Structures are given as structure tokens and as C-alpha cells.
Amino acid sequence: MSKMQESTDKEVRKEIKTLTGAEIFIECLKEEGVEELFGYPGGVILHIYDQLYNCKEIKHYLVRHEQGAVHAAEGYARVTGKPGVALVTSGPGACNTITGLANAYYDGYPIVVFTGQVASGLIGNDAFQEADVVGITRPCCKHNYLVKDTKDLPRVIKEAFHIASTGKPGPVVVDIPKDVLTDKAEFIYPEKVKLPGYNPNYNGHPLQIAKALNLLYKAEKPLILCGGGVIASDAPEELLKLAKILNVPVANTLMGTGGYPGTDELSLGLVGMHGNYWANMATANCDTLFTIGARFSDRVTGKLSKFCSDAKIIHIDIDPCSISKNVPVDIPIVGDAKKILSDMLNIINPEEIAKTAGKKAQWVDKINEWKQKRVKFSRTDNKMNPASVIQRIYELTKDKDPVICTEVGQHQMWTGLIYKFDRPRRFVTSGGLGTMGFGFPAAVGAQVGQKDKLVINIAGDGSIQMNIQELGTCVQNNIPVKVFIINNGYLGMVRQWQERLFNEQYSHTCIQSPDYVKLAEAYGAVGMRVTREEELDSAIIKALETDGPVFVDFIVDSMEAVFPWVLAGDPICNVLMGKEGCQDVQGEYS
């Protein structure tokens, strides 16, 4: 070794810091560019919280429940595209993250959840607040780690963020024993990640791409199905260009909402169990289905044996396990949607498009005929119709480019049907897991991620009560989420099923709610109640103009049901459009 090399090595050696695990943890987050963190302290992670006390680079948001921390991290990830981060303690704290992890896992959003663990020597001894976090979380996360040595912490954290955000995004769990946080090691943050066996394929096979285009050229009744993968890969622009060039209508899954502009003339909106009538009819009658970043869940397909049974299916997905898992595919293309759609646009042949342009135009005309059949609002007992309330919220906010979050239930489906999202990352809802209680903490995370945007959570009176305590987080941090509660006195979607399928036996679905106005005021927020249609607009406008968090309680008709509706097990073309004898008194949607 030369004297110059020896001198350089000594200088580098002096720059390497020896830090505690807790200090290393903070430095790793800084290296990853983490600026916001959702968490709840506890005994074994107090060394991290001690480091956070004087950390100016990372803003910590104290949630009121660990489930709320994970949902908030996911809401943050959904609107920013960056991994959301949650920090919780061992035992019950870690166990309370499971629902949030499963939600992010099913819907494919990047979060990294750090859990505390008892000291290494106590693991397996039933120590106080011990839980087998690795074993518990294995089925509901993309990957998990138990850190066994302080020197491994930088590598593990680097890998965790890499895995969460590459390939199909998802949650990663890092379980950190107490002694790993107190022991010391040299802090060297790795520049690259080396994970043999984990190499997501981003580039689609050229021959498969060419085959897909040839099939789309020849198709007379083609349809594009936009899934959440379009948004995850930042491919909406490419999808819009391709749909316009080919003149192919575009339907979307719930997770794909906003992946294609909802107000565009080729947009068919939501497809599936509560999808638009014309979107379902187009899916059932197309001759070529071009699916991008969707996993063909049962809520989309209906009866599998009847789903696109006469159509050729092209499927782009970065996760090879999703292709032909539920629906057999004729042309599979594994890779990143943005790259593949870009490749398609680069080799598009206008002469081939022209050969079937007339047939495609006839197909679009046929779909426009189906669009004339719409669901009608109904009303009983002189109460507000819940769908019409959401319609007014849409009309009064659509020009503000809001982020709309929802809980799960009837209000969620009405929102998906009524709102027309022209941009991605504006609709935050729970798809695959259907998690009641998701919307409010997710809205908190979304507002933290997009501080200058209007963020609204549309909720039901059942689901809002599951994580209503996060109002404390909003008030303490002045997070100005507007919560619009569609209060029908029932667990509405369950009641709807009981009405239709269980002989109107409403077993334990009538729910008593607190006084939301008083509850909001008790937390230090603003509460409002609306009972009449003539109060609707003024109340919504007042809520939007109010600084800080607001709860608005809309008292609506308790017996309204969501339509369109495809009963479970039916083909998606068997669409119920309303109750028998309903009165067309207010308007229409979908």
C-alpha cells in the first residue's frame, strides 16, 4: 500500500462515526430523505424517541393508535409516491399494525414500518410486551427483518426502503430489539443494495409488446382496464396518449381511479360489483381486454367463468404472480407499465390503426348508448339522499383539485361512482382489504404529504368511529382535514345486503352514533350538522373555508342502497339498477 493510499484511508477512517443503534436509525432515515414520521412511543424504542427530541430534519406526528400510524403512512405514500414511515413499540404496539400492513400489502403501496422488540436475550422467553413480529407479519408484508446486530442496521434499513418502493410496491417491516438500539457500531450507510434473487423485471418483452399491439389493431370492440399499477408506475400520461391514438375506451378498477382522466370522453369510470352500467356492459361484450396493473379481483370479475369469456386478454403487470392467477391471459407482458406503454407508443403504426377505425368508432357509439341508462336518486321520509350529498360535495370541490379519501362502505362506492378524478393520487381508499377505519388516518397522512392541498375524508357513521381518535392528531398538529360523515344510522353496506339477501332481517347493523358536533368540539375542532337539503351548500362551503379540522355530520336517508349492483356470483353484465318502485325525485348519477 502506498503512503498516499494509507493517508487517505486514515482520513476516511476518522470520518466514520461510532454511534448507538438509535443514533444510526435517525441517520439512516435522513439518508433516505424521510421528513415525516408517524408513530407512538413505548418502552423499548425510547432511545429512538430520545434522538427525535432534538432532530430538526424529521417531523414526528404522534398518532392515537398504532393502526392509525400505518394508515397515515400509507395515505402519505399514496399522494406523494414516496414510502411512508411508521414507528411503534413492541408487543401490542407491533400487533396493532397488522391491519394497516395488510391494507398496504393488498393495494400495493410502499411503507416501511419499524417495530420495537424486547432485548435479544429475552426473545422467546415470553418477556413483557414481547411478540413474534416476524412470524405475525410474514403473511401481510412484502418482506420483514429482525435486526440481530447494530452494525447491520444501515444495510437493513437501506434494503427495506428499496424493497418497499421497487417492483410491485408494498409494506416492509423492520423489527429492532432494544439492545440493538443501545449498542454501538460504526455508521456506514451503503450506497447500493445487493439482493440476489430480488430483481424485478421492468422491461417488457419486445415480441409480446408487438403481439399486443397487433391484437389491438385488429380488435373491433377493444377495452382498456386501468388498474392501480398505472398510478404506481406514473403511467397516466402514456395511457392517455395510447387510448387517444387507438380510440379505445378506458374503464378503471377502484385502485385505478384517476389513472385515466375521469372527465375524458373515452372514460367509462368504475367497473365491477358497483361499477357503472356501461363499463360493465363494455367489459362483458368486448372482444379484446387490455388490462394494465390490475389483479382481476372478484369484485371486478364477478362470475369468473363468464368474465370476458369470448375476449382475448392482454395483461401488463410488474408482478408475474398476478398474471393468469385469476383470469387466463392470452398475451402476458411482465414489466413496468410506464416503460411498456412508452415502448408501444414508439412503435405504433397509424396505417394499422386506420384499418379498424370505423369498427372502433361504432363500438364507442354503442357504449355511448349504454350510457343513457343511469341510476336514479330516491328519497324517503323527507331525508337527504346520501348520493346527492356526495354529488354536491363533488360539485363544490371539483375545481379545487382536492385529495378525496374515504372509509369503506356505501359512501365509498358512491364516491367512486360520482367523483370524476382527472389526475392520479387524488383518490385514497381501501380496495383489496376493505378496511373500515382506513380513511381518516389515511387523510391525515395525505394532508401531511400534500400540505397545501384540500384533503377531504368522506366517511360513514360506522367506519368513522373505528379510528375517530385520530382527530386528536389533527388538532394537536393543526392538520386541516375536512371530514364529511354520511350518517344513515346503519352499517349501510351490510344493511343493504341484509335487505336484499336476508329477508330484511337487520341483525346488529343499526348503529348508535355520538353527537359528532360535540365530539369535534371536545377535541378542539369544529363540528357541524346538516339535516336539510337547503343547508347543504352553505355547510360545505363553510367547512371548506374553516381553518383546521372540521367534522360535518350529514343526516341522510337510512334505507338508500348503492346501485348499480352486481350480486356476488353473478356475471358483471347482470346489473341491478335500483329497487323496485323507486321514485325518480332528485337526479341521477353514474
Catalytic one of 66, 74, 159, 560? 66
Assess contact for 117 and 47: CB atoms under 8 A.
Answer: no
- Interior/surface letters 272-310, b for 16+ CB within 10 angstroms, e for the rest: bbbbbbbbbbbbbbbbbbbbbbbbbbebbbbbeeebbee
Residue 493 is a catalytic residue: yes
C-alpha distances (whole Å) from 84 to each of 80, 285, 499 are 9, 40, 40
**Is 66 annotated in the active site?**
yes
Of the residues 384, 413, 493, 559, only one is catalytic, namely: 493
CA atoms within 13 A on the CB side of 461: 25
Spatial separation of the C-alpha atoms in residues 114 and 452, rounded to whole Å:
28
By three-state DSSP, how is residue 275 classified? coil
Q: Give the Cα-Cα-Cα angle 437, 70, 235 (nearest 5 degrees).
A: 95
Q: How is residue 112 annotated by DSSP?
A: E
Active-site residue flag, 545: no
The single residue listed with the C-alpha cell 409480446 is: 208
Residue for grid cell 383489496: 432
Which residues lie across from 496 on neighbouring strands? none
H or E element in which residue 530 lies: strand 526-530
Q: Which of 128, 186, 369, 451 is catalytic?
A: 128
What percent helix, strand, coil does the chain show, rounded to 5? 45, 20, 40
Q: How far is CA 370 from CA 249, 281, 374, in A?
A: 13, 8, 9
Q: How far apart are the first and last CA of the chain?
A: 75
Residue from 143, 142, 323, 137 nearest 227 by CA? 323
CA distance 153 to 541: 49
**Catalytic hit among 30, 31, 35, 129:** 129
Contact 141, 86 (CB under 8 A): no
Please check whether residue 557 is in contact with residue 579, taking contact to mean a CB–CB distance below 8 angstroms.
no
Which member of 178, 312, 338, 482 is catalytic? Answer: 178
Residues 6+ apart with CB under 8 A from 561: 410, 496, 499, 500, 579
Contact indicator for 452, 82 with CB cutoff of 8 Å:
no
**129 assigned to active site:** yes
474: CB partners within 8 A, 6+ apart: 444, 480, 481, 523, 525, 548, 549
Burial of 538 from C-beta contacts in 10 A (0-12 / 13-18 / 19+): exposed
Catalytic residues: 66, 128-129, 178, 493
